[in-house]
C-alpha cells in the first residue's frame, strides 16, 4: 500500500504542476451498476483506477463551443484543455510502466457519477457535480488506468442542497421542477436559446451553474 500512496502522491503533485484544477480517483468496480458501455473494463480490460480531472470555468466564456459547418469540425475550449491534460497524465503513467486509456465523451463514463464516486463532490439538485472550491462551474474528463491508486470516498448525497432550492427556481426552462432533472426540457430550451459569440461560436444556457451559491465568494 506504501507504493500505491507514493504513486498517488506523485501523480497529484504532477497534476498540480501542469495546472489541473482538481483530480480524484475511484474504484472501477463501483461502475458495475451501469451498463457495459459505461464500464471502465469495456475500455481497458485490466483497469484498476478511474482518474477524474476537472477544469474550473472561472469565466463562463471558457465554456464556449465553436462549430465549423463547412469543414465539419467542432471545438469546445475547456474540453480541449482537459484532453491535453489527460494526455499528459497518460504519458506520466506510461513512463512508470502503466497503460491508460482516455475516455471518449460518448459513450464513455458518466463523468459526474465518476467524480462523486471519487469523492470530489456530490451531484446536486441542479443535476451537476458540486465541488467545495468551485461549485458547479467545472468541466470534467476521465481516464482509466492499470495503475493502482488511492481511491477517494464516494459521496452519495449533497449536503449543500439540503436547505437550498435556488437552482430549481433559476432554471428558465423549468427543467428542475420538483427536484427532478428533465433532460428533454433542458435540451430543447438550450438549443433554442444559445448565447451567440459569433456565427460559429455559442455558449449553452448556464443558469443552473451560475445560480449555485457553492464556491462563490
Say if residues 40 and 153 touch (Cβ distance below 8 Å): no
The band of 177, judged by pLDDT with boundaries at 50, 70 and 90, is confident
What gap in Å lies between CA 115 and CA 135, rounded to an integer?
13
The pLDDT of residue 189 is 96
The band of 217, judged by pLDDT with boundaries at 50, 70 and 90, is low
Tens-digit pLDDT profile for residues 117-167? 999 999 999 999 999 999 999 999 999 999 999 999 999 999 999 999 999
What gap in Å lies between CA 24 and CA 150, rounded to an integer?
9
The band of 96, judged by pLDDT with boundaries at 50, 70 and 90, is very high
Amino acid at each position: 500500500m506504501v507504493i500505491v500512496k507514493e504513486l498517488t502522491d506523485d501523480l497529484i503533485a504532477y497534476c498540480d504542476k501542469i495546472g489541473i484544477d482538481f483530480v480524484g480517483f475511484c474504484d472501477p468496480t463501483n461502475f458495475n451498476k451501469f451498463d457495459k458501455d459505461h464500464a471502465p473494463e469495456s475500455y481497458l480490460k485490466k483497469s484498476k483506477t478511474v482518474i477524474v480531472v476537472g477544469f474550473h470555468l472561472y469565466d463562463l466564456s471558457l465554456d464556449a463551443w465553436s462549430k465549423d459547418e463547412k469543414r465539419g469540425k467542432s471545438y469546445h475550449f475547456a474540453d480541449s484543455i482537459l484532453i491535453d491534460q489527460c494526455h499528459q497524465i497518460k504519458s506520466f503513467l506510461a513512463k512508470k510502466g502503466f497503460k491508460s486509456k482516455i475516455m471518449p465523451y460518448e459513450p464513455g463514463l458518466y463523468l459526474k457519477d465518476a467524480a462523486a464516486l471519487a469523492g470530489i463532490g456530490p451531484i446536486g439538485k441542479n443535476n451537476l457535480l458540486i465541488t467545495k472550491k468551485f461549485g458547479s462551474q467545472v468541466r470534467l474528463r476521465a481516464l482509466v488506468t492499470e495503475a493502482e491508486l488511492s481511491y477517494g470516498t464516494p459521496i452519495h448525497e449533497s449536503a449543500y442542497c439540503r436547505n437550498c432550492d435556488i437552482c430549481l427556481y433559476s432554471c428558465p426552462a423549468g427543467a428542475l421542477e420538483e427536484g427532478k432533472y428533465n433532460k428533454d426540457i433542458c435540451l430543447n430550451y438550450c438549443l433554442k436559446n444559445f448565447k451567440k459569440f459569433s456565427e460559429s461560436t455559442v455558449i449553452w444556457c448556464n443558469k443552473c451553474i451560475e445560480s449555485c451559491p457553492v464556491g462563490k465568494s
